[in-house]
């Protein structure tokens, strides 16, 4: 378990709201040319010239979206940024700015918020986005964190969920189910820790999947790869909820059907072995486990040579006419209708 190693605990009340904001945000620098003015005035000022602007917000609530028993605050800050950048990349856009709003109870010392902001700062630096504002307020119980991400894209490059057409290939990046299985391991260790706080868990066999849960990476690299490969997906969505429900979103909004192939779903060996250990079906996890933050997209078959053999991409199925419905073709060749949730092992 992650212990609280903070020695000093500075009461938030000592700083006051403005002192706190200043303390947390003083290191942020502006890097993008579209950011005219960042933190410090009543509003940030942005100039995107002739680009289209994409905006997305996600809120993370303690006890609902994260558990501080195993989620270090630095990772939480990093992940909150990733979750939002992933939505910007899913539009085939470049992420440029974020705002960060938090509601925090006085059970958190200043040092906790410093850790949270260290994660935000690291994410902003690596992904080259400017932190241009936010809001800070108190909460009676836990921690609530809301990030808004802003991005830019040429109007001709925007990719929506709605553009898939019959015969397009369905492609995913990376591998699936890791974040969910990482969460299962962390939940199990939390229970063990409750019974025996002295226990020293061996998490070595699970490092990859725990990292997938605690420190996901949004696929900025894939958006850049699309540019260099000269590929524009016909539709795209990010995988926050699992392959099944995200594929259904794409198909519904594109007014098409699909076939996904069970034997094509990319799984890391650690996901497979952990699924065996927990006696869970790995396909079920890939279809319904969330938080992988990979991209799911469709391309015209004519673009296949451009992505063929690239280790970032796996073709998992085809788009069909709407009448064909949305099907998973199992390893045994049986066709099963996709479900958004409550998938039962077959
Ligand atoms: P106002 O009273 O106009 O809402 P605030 O005092 O809340 O202004 O904020 C002052 C400045 O600090 C603004 O630029 C705001 O966007 C920024 N800010 C406030 N809270 C945060 C935060 N948690 N993270 C980043 N910037 C913040
Ligand atoms: Mg404010």
CA–CA dist 121, 106 (Å, integer): 23
Cα separations (Å) of 110 from 42, 62, 135, 178, 335? Answer: 24, 17, 16, 33, 55
pLDDT at position 13, please? 85
CA 41–ligand 1 middle distance (angstroms): 8
CA 56–ligand 1 middle distance (angstroms): 19
pLDDT at position 340, please? 75
> Mean pLDDT over all residues of the chain?
94
pLDDT, average across residues 273-296:
96
User: Which of 21, 28, 124, 143 for mutating ligand 1's site (highest number of atoms within 8 Å of CB)?
Assistant: 21
Position 341 confidence tier, pLDDT thresholds 50, 70, 90 = low
User: Looking at ligand 1, which atom is closest to the CA of residue 131?
Assistant: 25
pLDDT at position 1 over 60: no
Which ligand approaches the C-alpha of residue 20 most closely?
1
User: Which of 23, 25, 121, 147 for mutating ligand 1's site (highest number of atoms within 8 Å of CB)?
Assistant: 25
In sequence order, what E strands does 3-86 have?
Answer: 35-37, 45-46, 52-61
CA 72–ligand 1 middle distance (angstroms): 24
Q: Give per-residue pLDDT as tens, 107-161.
A: 999 999 999 999 999 999 999 999 999 999 999 989 999 999 999 999 999 999 9
Cα separations (Å) of 280 from 238, 274, 289, 328, 331? Answer: 24, 8, 11, 18, 17
Q: Give per-residue pLDDT as tens, 3-25.
A: 455 568 899 888 888 899 999 99
pLDDT at position 17, please? 86
pLDDT at position 201 over 90: no
Which protein residues touch ligand 1 with a CB less than 6 Å away? 21, 25, 39-42, 100, 102, 131, 133-136
User: Looking at ligand 1, which atom is closest to the CA of residue 39?
Assistant: 14
pLDDT, average across residues 72-80:
97
Which ligand approaches the C-alpha of residue 102 most closely?
1
**Assigned token pair, 175:** 């591998």
User: Looking at ligand 1, which atom is closest to the CA of residue 38?
Assistant: 14
CA 144–ligand 2 middle distance (angstroms): 15
pLDDT, average across residues 281-295:
96
Q: What is the DSSP string of 306-335?
A: HHTT-TTEEEEEEEE-GGG-EEEE-TTS-E
User: Looking at ligand 1, which atom is closest to the CA of residue 42?
Assistant: 3
pLDDT at position 46, please? 98
Beta partners for 147?
A: 58, 100
Q: Give per-residue pLDDT as tens, 26-70.
A: 989 999 999 999 999 999 999 999 999 999 999 999 999 999 998
Which ligand approaches the C-alpha of residue 120 most closely?
1
Half-sphere exposure of 36 (CA within 13 A, CB side): 8
CA angle centred on 159, ends 145 and 99, rounded to 5°: 20
pTM for the whole structure: 0.94
Residue of 211, 174, 204 lying closest to 286 (CA atoms): 174
Which ligand approaches the C-alpha of residue 27 most closely?
1
pLDDT at position 219 over 80: yes
CA 147–ligand 2 middle distance (angstroms): 14
Q: Hunting for tokens 């605690």 — which residue is that?
A: 214
Q: Give per-residue pLDDT as tens, 225-282.
A: 999 999 999 999 999 999 999 999 999 999 999 999 999 999 999 999 999 999 999 9
pLDDT at position 2 over 50: no
pLDDT at position 5, please? 54
What one-character DSSP code corresponds to residue 19?
Answer: H
CA–CA dist 265, 239 (Å, integer): 13
pLDDT at position 20, please? 92
CA–CA dist 312, 51 (Å, integer): 28
CA–CA dist 216, 209 (Å, integer): 10
Indicate the pairing of strand 169-173 with strand 294-299: antiparallel
**Assigned token pair, 98:** 């974020």
User: Looking at ligand 1, which atom is closest to the CA of residue 44?
Assistant: 14
């Amino acid at each position: 378990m992650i212990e609280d190693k903070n020695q000093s605990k500075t009461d938030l009340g000592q700083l006051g709201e403005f002192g706190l904001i200043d303390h947390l945000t003083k290191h942020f620098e502006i890097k993008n040319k579209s950011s005219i003015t960042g933190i410090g005035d009543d509003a940030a000022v942005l100039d995107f010239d002739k680009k289209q602007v994409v905006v997305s917000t996600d809120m993370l609530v303690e006890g609902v979206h994260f558990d501080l028993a195993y989620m270090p605050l630095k990772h939480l800050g990093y992940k909150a940024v990733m979750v939002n950048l992933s939505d910007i990349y899913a539009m085939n856009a470049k992420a440029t700015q974020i705002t960060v709003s938090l509601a925090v109870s006085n059970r958190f010392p200043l040092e906790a918020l410093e850790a949270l902001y260290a994660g935000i700062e690291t994410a902003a630096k690596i992904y080259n986005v400017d932190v241009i504002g936010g809001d800070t307020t108190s909460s009676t119980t836990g921690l609530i964190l809301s990030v808004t991400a802003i991005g830019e894209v040429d109007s001709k490059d925007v990719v929506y969920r709605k553009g898939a057409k019959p015969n397009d290939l369905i492609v995913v990046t990376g591998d699936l189910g890791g974040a969910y299985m990482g969460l299962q391991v962390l939940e199990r260790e939390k229970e063990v820790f409750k019974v025996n706080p002295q226990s020293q868990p061996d998490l070595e066999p699970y490092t990859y999947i725990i990292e997938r849960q605690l420190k996901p990476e949004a696929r900025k690299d894939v958006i850049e790869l699309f540019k260099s490969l000269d590929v524009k997906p016909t539709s795209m969505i990010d995988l926050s909820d699992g392959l099944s429900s995200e594929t259904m979103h794409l198909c519904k909004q594109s007014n098409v059907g699909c076939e996904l192939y069970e034997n094509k779903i990319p799984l890391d060996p650690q996901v497979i072995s952990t699924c065996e250990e927990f006696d869970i079906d790995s396909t079920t996890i890939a279809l319904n486990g969330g938080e992988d933050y990979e991209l799911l997209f469709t391309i015209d078959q004519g673009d296949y040579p451009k992505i063929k053999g690239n280790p970032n991409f796996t073709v998992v199925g085809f788009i069909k006419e709407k009448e064909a419905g949305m099907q998973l073709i199992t390893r045994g060749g049986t066709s099963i209708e996709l479900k958004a949730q409550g998938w039962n092992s077959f």
